[in-house]
Amino acid sequence: MKLQYDLSKRKQYSYTAYRSMIDKLHREGKTTGNNHSETMLGYSTMNVTRMKRLDKTSKINAELASKIKALPAQKWLIISEAWCGDAAQNLPLINKLAELNPDVELSIILRDENLDIMDEHLTGGGRSIPKVISLNSKQETLFEWGPRPNLMQDTYSRLKKDGLAYDNISKTIHTMYAKDKGQAIQSEFFELLK
């Protein structure tokens, strides 16, 4: 599938610029998007803390690192928002992967500013993020990943179907992330890159 949009006309962030932006917004009592409710600001506060920790502690396994280093040139377009817990759990590790290869460009766009792109990459009909779309130089999709590792996604879907409250689902999923320490996403990227 070919991306139908001119990305050069979209506001894009490097990982460093994205982190700086969300840290600045956090200091101002804001988050990305238009909803600056206490709930959304609370999510963003947790995510700033998560990302700082994961930026320091995420470790890449050697087999995946070798595979990443050998990749041909490509762009990893990530759809995200500061208030998204799954983005905070996964972007630090995805960034570390991209940093292993100078031919892998990581670029982040905000979901709510790019709903036309988001709506072409839905998960089960929903605008779930983060979403990674790997593109070659012709803007053709090499692979997609997201919004969370299958281990967490399957649990999320089951708990949602069972009618569990969102706060309880979120607590369960984030506990799974803490125990997993980035292994599930690394395993999935390894398979995607075969």
Q: Which amino acid is at 175?
A: T
Q: What helix, strand, coil percent values describe the chain, rounded to 5?
A: 55, 15, 30
pLDDT tens-digit readout, 91-136: 999 999 999 999 999 999 999 999 999 999 999 899 999 999 999 9
pLDDT tier, 194 (very low <50, low <70, confident <90, very high otherwise): confident
| pTM as predicted | 0.95
Which structural domains are found in the chain, ordered by start? 7-147 (3.40.30.10)
List, edge to edge, every strand of the sheet that includes 74-80. Answer: 104-110, 74-80, 131-135, 141-145
Q: Which two tokens stand for residue 153?
A: 């996604």
Between strands 104-110 and 74-80, the pairing is: parallel
Q: Residue 119: its pLDDT value, please? A: 95
Q: What is d(CA 64, CA 48) in angstroms, rounded to the nearest whole number? A: 26
Chain centre to alpha carbon of residue 187:
16
pLDDT tens-digit readout, 51-84: 999 999 999 999 999 999 999 999 999 999 999 9
